[in-house]
Structure 1
Amino acid sequence: MARTGSRSRVVARTARPADLPAVLALVRQHRADAHAEDVLTGHTLVNAAASGFRRLLEDPGHRVVLAVLPGPYAADGAATGEVAAVGLAVVGVDPLSLVLGSPQVTVDTFVVHRDHRRRGTGAVLLAAATAYAQENGAAHVVAAAGGHEAERQRFLARMGFAPLTTRRIVTVESLTRSLTSWQRGGYPVPGPRRTSAARRRPVTRSLSA
């Protein structure tokens, strides 16, 4: 698979096992930009990472797409050599959307190298996601962006993405503590919220004769 943008020499292709170092570097940058506490270090267990990466590449429900900058002698986007990997997207079909009979493609990871932004890399990755959606008969593409990622939010809005939902994250350890406290009665189960109209509705009292 290869896609090029009319405004960019960047090419999108399916990742290969040998791309693991480039993928880890892009993910490391993404987590650092997101101020994630558990940013991947340079001491990642290579065997474990390679094994997980191979499983992801072999997963029929996902495709790992790399945006690469072709070498200086490449013509018409047919890379005879690559300068660097400058972007990453992991696309897949949402399982629930299949159950509902309306497939949606999700962009689970979307990274553009900070030195190659505003150069068409993001558009090339989204073109690859669009092609994947068409291959799978999906009518929609869903991409996630954190509330702090203003630049990505603006980019997706320019590309026509509309707000859909809010995603929250918690560590398993923290969630386990919360659930334990709830089971002990520490957190009452919230009752149904009354609408504002219901709260404002006057109480009608019946008067006996």
Structure 2
Amino acid sequence: MSRSLVSLRRATVADAPVLAELWGEALRRVDHAEQVADLTRVLTEAERDASGAGAASGVSRVLVAEYDGEVAGAVLLRVSTLSPLNLEPCVQAVSPHVFAAFRRRGVGRALMDGAVVFAEERGIDHVMTAANSVSRDANRFMARLALGPHAMLRVAPTAAVRAKLTTSRSAMATSARAERRQVTRVLAARRSMRRAQAQAQSQG
């Protein structure tokens, strides 16, 4: 049996530059140096967590997948809950990314296997991940691993949401004023009809 060329290891702070390239689209829209600084912080916290707990009790870990000795992909694993309201424990597999040159070589499967092992070590029954909604390949891959849709995450700049809310509030106010005017006209018409009917009855 041939030896697999894919291996997993824990990421270190030294991996921050290459992971900034891998995860560029998932990071803050800042320059590369700041992205590396962000990842250095993430990796430092993961290393601190690992050093202060046993293998089966740490709450976060960054795994790097290597293909024949080269960094091919990575995933951030974190113990969390299914939602802020549903406190069922789960392992979040955050951004399981693979460099384009190493796709379809078992790297993504190895990363998700690492997520499952991480969950199994902690007795956690659920693994959660996310895929770009427009990436059919990523979503098909997750579906093949029994990961079904749970929620659709929607994100927008705060200012954009505020603008839409303001526009919506203005439109609702305009609609409410128009409705009140319509009601006023209807009531006035009914009063006029009643007066006309009363006058006709008195004359009859």
What TM-score do the two structures reach when normalised by structure 1? Answer: 0.65
Q: Which has the higher contact order (CA 8 A, sep 6+)?
A: 1
Q: Would the alpha carbon gap of residues 23 and 187 (structure 1) be closer, same or farther in structure 2, given more than 3 Å must change?
A: farther
Per the alignment, residue 20 of structure 2 pairs with 24
How many residues are matched?
Answer: 164
Question: What root-mean-square deviation, in Å, do the aligned CA atoms of Structure 1 and Structure 2 show?
Answer: 3.1
**Matched-pair contact (CA < 8 Å) for 2:16–2:36:** no
Q: CA deviation at 1:12?
A: 1.1
Unmatched runs of 5 consecutive residues or more in structure 1: 1-5, 71-82, 189-209
2:170 to 179, 186, 199: 186
Per the alignment, residue 139 of structure 2 pairs with 153
Unmatched runs of 5 consecutive residues or more in structure 2: 50-57, 173-204
2:136 and 2:129 mapped to 1: Cα distance? 14
1:61 and 1:45 mapped to 2: Cα distance? 23
Per the alignment, residue 121 of structure 2 pairs with 135
Verify: 1:55 aligned to 2:45, yes or no.
Answer: yes
Q: Which residue type is aligned with residue 125 of structure 1? A: L
Larger-Rg structure: 2
1:19 and 1:58 mapped to 2: Cα distance? 16
Judging by fraction of residues, say which structure has more helix.
2
Verify: 1:9 aligned to 2:29, yes or no.
Answer: no
Per the alignment, residue 167 of structure 1 pairs with 153
1:52 and 1:93 mapped to 2: Cα distance? 15
Per the alignment, residue 182 of structure 2 pairs with none
Q: Which residue type is aligned with residue 131 of structure 2? A: A
**Matched-pair contact (CA < 8 Å) for 1:97–1:104:** no
**Matched-pair contact (CA < 8 Å) for 2:20–2:32:** no
Per the alignment, residue 85 of structure 1 pairs with 71
Verify: 1:108 aligned to 2:104, yes or no.
Answer: no
Percent identity between the aligned chains?
Answer: 27
